[in-house]
Amino acid sequence: MSPANQKPSPNPELNLLLFSIPQSLLLNIGTASILLLLTAGQVSVKALESLGQASEELFRGDRLPILDFPEDNELKNS
């Protein structure tokens, strides 16, 4: 039978050996996984931004300890 004469099935499915999966279920699973990935991406971006801001605050110059450097004449005398 040629493809032009075939009628589309009313419920398209993925036919496996022992069972079949409807295309609507595959579409729902695919959509949910994409939305979950987008949400996880946004959350991870926000977490990395907060981590970057926290590290900037940690290493700001006014909060670092003042180091006691030896003078030039102390180095020459030693």
pLDDT value at residue 75: 62
- Four-CA torsion 53, 56, 54, 61, nearest 10 degrees: -140
Strands (DSSP E) contained in 1-78 are 13-15, 20-22
Amino acid code (one letter) for 40: A
pLDDT value at residue 74: 62
- For 12-40, the pLDDT digits (tens) are 777 777 778 888 888 999 999 999 999 99
